[in-house]
Structure 1
Amino acid sequence: MQQFLKFWFLSPGLVLASALNLPLPVAAQGLFSPAVTVNEEVVTYFELEQRAQFMRLLGTAGDPYEQAREELIKDRLKNAAVTEAGINISEEDVLAGMTELAGRANLSLEEFTKVLGQNGVAPETLRDYTSAGLAWRDYVGSRFLSRARPSDAEIDRAMGRAGTGGVQVLLSEVIIPINAQNAGQVEEIAEQISQLKSYSAFSSAATQYSASDSRNNQGQLPWMNLSKLPPQLQEVVLGLKSGEITAPMPLQGAVALFQMRGIREVTGSAPRYAAIEYASYFIAGGRTPEAMSTAQKIASQIDTCDDLYGIAKDQDPSVLDRQSLAPSEIPQDIALELAKLDTGETSTVLTRNNGQTLMLLMMCGRTADLGAGESESREGVANALTQQRLGAFADSFIEQLRADAEIVIK
């Protein structure tokens, strides 16, 4: 496990301002009174001021006091999970971690603690910071490592051994919802659309029948890297000539058709993705006006996938599903919608439960290939992919813990 988890909890850049003698904020309520409570666990003003000063010395971006409060809140959440899992860090590991951190400032541990002390940071603050990071590293590894390891196919993609190169396509789409009640009618309409012979006729069909947001633009999508499309669709699209339309493609809860409007090669290779992370929030009612209104309201309130944990708080856990999958593992209807989204964007096209449940789909992020050439070892690529995924899993889990926690800032 250690080869995958080498101090990824530590800041990658360390700037120690040893000449600074920065003042500490003064808490009117007293240094050892509560500044924050997290599920009744106390963070004192003393801890807050110590961490803020420590983060100043590390060169942390942003307001050190605000950053310190956020980090200490997360530490309390992490410590609770670590304690419940029965994870303990040895004194030798803590000492090694402190030495590693000091080394990033090109100092010995003795020199490092001396400089911290000269700037008002107690040795216990360094010890607590290091111990918490190591314990959390071990917890994340034990919980998520098996899910974070990439497959051989994912490593191949990351090393550039798979993919289609620098090709972009210009498509139009029609996405028609289908259920048991309208299946016959939808299949007939889809077959008729597949026989159309002009761009204008396809555009009219998209405006009339499509449930996708692109219907507001006559079904027309912007130029898109072919590698963004689901792998199973890439070959189909490449086989189209300009103006040609695919046969109706059955999806879960919909039928899709695509018309080719253009294809081009671009300089360099198109991005390839080892994994795509997305979140699905499920709303009862399908595509009813009430459900769509709820989805739009939620979409206007969220900026990242982490925000959905707050929306889903106190609800059945099944209402929110967050995944990080290789492109080939993503259901085709979801993959089609994700291909149109940038990070933080949402879609309300898809449904589940035979059209009775609306899916608010959000793109969390894409794990690009690492630009690895053939000379790079598979082990190195695998480790890098694992680190990326562990970080994503850990961040997602912390946000879930935070959404469920009772946090009181004094």
Structure 2
Amino acid sequence: MKPDSKVTMNAPLLSVFVSRIALAFAAFIILAVTAPSVQAQGIVVMVNGEPITTYDIEQRTKLITLTTRKAPTRQQALQELIDDRLKIKEAKKFGVDLSASDVDSAFAGMAQRMRISSDQLAQVLQAQGVRPDTMKFRLKADTAWGALVRGRFKQSLLVGERDVQAAVGENPSGERTESYEYHMRPIVLFVPRGSSGAVEQRKKEAEALRERIQSCEEATRVFKSLRQASIRDTIVKTSADLPPNLRELLDKTPVGRMTAPEVTRQGIEMVALCNRQVTTADTPAKRAARDKLFAQKYEAKSKSYLEDLRKRAMIEYKQK
């Protein structure tokens, strides 16, 4: 009975002792985990009532370093964050409010231009310590701001023909370099993956068809009847829309004929040139000049607009 009573007497004391140890240990874990987080989330600036934290600055610094290969100063990263909040709020004021799906689409578009998936882009960012949401926030600001500036100042951003001609060194009333409009139908001969012999066989087949076919009408009839082949709808592009290598290739291809077969991921691809005619559309040089002049006007308007927003904004610094 005595040993049992001893256990009974000490059990509450042991329970309290263990509980205190557990609480102390838990408190230690909480402090270890949350203390850096609280510090990281310390508010540095309030922009029209919206906070920017030290964590935001840290993330933006990593993002700028990743995208520019140059580490910014803390002030540069902070200024970008302030500007982005002003851009988003001003755009929303005029009805330009991107949804989460809009931002995800912009993120996916960025990944596609890099020839990777959205998940792969997210992994690339995370490997560098950048949260995908950090990139998405900047994309939201840039996309909304671009739409706002182009929409509000559309007329003042227009580039005059005389300015373009002067930029490319043309005489406004004189000769101009010709620009062409191309009517094309892409063609694909599909090849099973992992079969090098089939690639060569299909390429020879494409060469034979290229020699035989003399018009787009004939190409349409032949390729629609072939198995494992496709001729797509007509695409219309001008000289300024095409890369130099493809433009040069089409200029050398007689109308009604096809370009030389090219091995791609899909199989063997060619282009049937259905028509080529002179157009008044921009030449490549004029398109480049027009785009450059527009970019200059846009940057100037964007800069002055943003400076005005900064002057009118409520920006309160909490800590340096």
Q: Which has the higher helix share?
A: 2
TM-score (norm. length: structure 1): 0.39
